[in-house]
Amino acid sequence: MKTSDEQALFELKHISFAYPFEQPVLKDVSLSIHAGEMVAILGVNGCGKSTLLKMLAGILCPQEGEFKAFGRVMTEKMLLDDKLSKQYHQRVGFIFQDSDVQLFCSTVQEEIAFGLLQLGMPDSEIKERMHDVMALLSIEHLKDKTPFKLSGGEKKKVAIAAILVMNPDILILDEPTNGLDPRTQRWLVGLLLSLNKAGKTLITSTHNLELVQEISQRAILFDEHHSIVADLPTANLLTDTKLLIDVNLVDEYYHRHESGEHSHYHIHN
Ligand SMILES: Nc1ncnc2c1ncn2[C@@H]1O[C@H](COP(=O)(O)OP(=O)(O)OP(=O)(O)O)[C@@H](O)[C@H]1O
Ligand SMILES: [Mg+2]
């Protein structure tokens, strides 16, 4: 249980955000996230999940409302300040929905070393961290490969490695299980749980209702009109079928068994 005086990592009050010349894609969004939480962001395509995550990741600033991170009000000027932005990205790691946006170096090991080199870390420590993270993700065999030639799942692992190597306190993952086979999804869930156990705060957007209960205790749900309509324990959200249908996250075939939820296709006579 959080005490009211415990400082939130992120505190958003009545945030609105619109891309240039577009209608708002986040409307009157208020939320707080505390250290150690595992939070899921849910909602249909285009509701604003990635936009919200990019804001928390220090890439976008709201036009309206107040966005505080680590107790400080975030401004466009702060995001453009090289030193402040480096400090921020060291604390907050962001895994993009599309790994191709994130990976730009010519080899996997350069990709993983990039952030550490930017911090001016000594070579010996860079080597040690790279060795550990590649072993953790079982990607040593990919180290000399070109990221853009890897499979989708391999790219995702490299993108995760490039963030984990920085050892951020907070991990923001945008649809991390997309395109992963069931075994790799399961492996990723295990990794996320062990990271949370080690004290990391996890904020994940997902459409995967089968995994959401495992990777979050709390779910924040957007409707199609870019506003938050529920912020509650994940287990409670998953049993609220009416709400899930209202926001178009499930169809009328959705139901839950003891072991979890899923949909069947029925043929009516
Ligand atoms: N750079 C951009 N410029 C203009 N519009 C954008 C930009 N990025 C996203 N949008 C628009 O903003 C809206 C919200 O996009 P966002 O990527 O946040 O949605 P999402 O909830 O993450 O969707 P998905 O489930 O498909 O990933 C969409 O209508 C999208 O087309
Ligand atoms: Mg998205």
What is the sign of the dihedral through the CA atoms of 258, 238, 176 and 11?
Answer: negative
Residue 2 half-sphere exposure toward CB, CA atoms < 13 A: 12
| Model pLDDT for residues 103-161, shown as the tens digit of each residue | 999 999 999 999 999 888 999 999 999 999 999 999 999 999 999 999 999 999 999 99
Task: Tell how far the Cα of 46 is from the centroid of ligand 1, in angstroms.
Answer: 5
Angstrom distance (rounded) from CA 238 to CA 255: 9
pLDDT for 78-94, tens place per residue?
Answer: 999 988 998 999 999 99
Rounded Cα distance, 147 and 114, in Å: 13
- 22 C-beta closer than 6 A to ligand 1: yes
Would strands 92-95 and 170-174 be described as parallel, antiparallel, or unpaired?
parallel
- What residues have a C-beta under 5 A from ligand 2, the ion? 49-50, 97
Average of per-residue pLDDT values in the chain: 90
Is residue 223 scored above 80 in pLDDT? yes
Does residue 24 line the site of ligand 1, with CB under 6 A? no
Q: Could you give the percent of the chain with pLDDT greater than 90?
A: 79
Q: CA 216 to CA 203: how far, in whole Å?
A: 8
CB of 57 closer than 8 Å to CB of 172: yes
Domain ranges of the chain: 10-263
Q: Which CATH superfamily is domain 10-263 in?
A: P-loop containing nucleotide triphosphate hydrolases (3.40.50.300)
Q: To the nearest whole percent, how much of the chain has pLDDT over 70?
A: 92
Predicted TM-score (pTM) of the model is 0.92
State the distance from the centre of ligand 2 to the C-alpha of 96, rounded, in angstroms: 9
Pocket probe for ligand 1: among 17, 49, 99, 101, the residue whose CB has the most ligand atoms within 8 Å is: 49
| Structure tokens, 59 | 């890439």
Q: DSSP alpha helices (H): ranges in the chain?
A: 49-56, 76-80, 82-91, 99-102, 108-118, 123-136, 152-164, 182-197, 209-215, 234-239, 241-246
Query: Who's near 221: CB < 8 A, 6+ residues apart?
Result: 42, 43, 228, 229, 230, 231, 237, 243, 247, 249
Residues, the chain, total? 269
206 lines ligand 1 (CB under 6 A): no
CB atoms < 10 A from the CB of 42, how many? Answer: 24
| Nearest CA residue ID for atom 5, ligand 1 | 19
The DSSP secondary structure of 69-107, one letter per residue, reads ETTEE--HHHHH-HHHHHHHHHHEEEE-SSHHHH--SSS
162-198 pLDDT per residue, tens = 999 999 999 999 999 988 888 889 989 999 999 999 9
Predicted local confidence at residue 184, as pLDDT: 87
